[in-house]
Structure 1
Amino acid sequence: MGVSVGLALLIGGVGFLGYKWWAYVTNTKSPYDEIGIELNSRAPGPVNEWGCAQLKLRFERMIPPYGCARPEGGWK
């Protein structure tokens, strides 16, 4: 019983964080949401790149958030 509860909590946590990330990259009013920035910057390469591309579509004229900036500046 303990393993199934732990597994349910793990799946719920991953689902919640996945939803928070998706909401940040597709439906945020600001690219500077602290939780969204942290989730996107820690996402695996292709997921991070897709998230940054979504943010860039809406906020191209703004300074990119951490995780979406090239080392020399500007959006990835």
Structure 2
Amino acid sequence: MQKIVQVVCVVLVGAVVMFGGRWYMYVAQGESPYDEVGIALNGYMPAPLRRWGCGKMEQRFPGKLPPYGCAGPDGRGWM
């Protein structure tokens, strides 16, 4: 039983590192705010992380329309 728990923990940590790292690369170093994979991963993030990521991208891409998930109530401004 302990071996199963250990394997599940390793798989979960690996998934968090893999998907979290890909999301961070999209937010912090992506060439475009319209990367489909990045937008999808950003949509799965908890609200505080999503707000941080959208704020970071707004600083990096001033004057561009926000990607899906980062748009404010009017759909044209950042959240």
State TM-score, norm by structure 2.
0.88
Instruction: State how far apart, in whole Å, the 1-side matches of 2:9 and 2:16 are.
Output: 11
Q: What residue number does 2:47 align with?
A: 45
Shift of 1:71: 2.3
Q: Which residue of 2 is the match for residue 2 of structure 1?
A: 4
Cα distance in 1 for partners of 2:30, 2:55 equals 14
The range that moved more, 34-43 or 49-58, is 34-43
**CA-atom RMSD in angstroms:** 1.1
2:21 corresponds to which residue?
19
What residue identity is the alignment partner of 1:75?
W
Unaligned runs of 5+ in 2: none
SS at match of 1:52: helix
The aligned runs of 1:51-66 (5 Å cut-off) are 51-66=53-68
Q: Which has the larger radius of gyration?
A: 2
**Match of residue 75 from structure 1:** 78
* Paired amino acid for 2:26: Y
User: How many residue pairs were aligned?
Assistant: 76
**1:41 CA drift (Å):** 1.9
The runs of at least 4 aligned residues of structure 1 exceeding 3 Å deviation read none
Alignment of 1:32 with 2:34, yes or no, is: yes
The percentage of counterpart residues that share the same residue type is 46
What is the rounded CA distance, in whole Å, between the counterparts of 1:42 and 1:14 in structure 2? 12
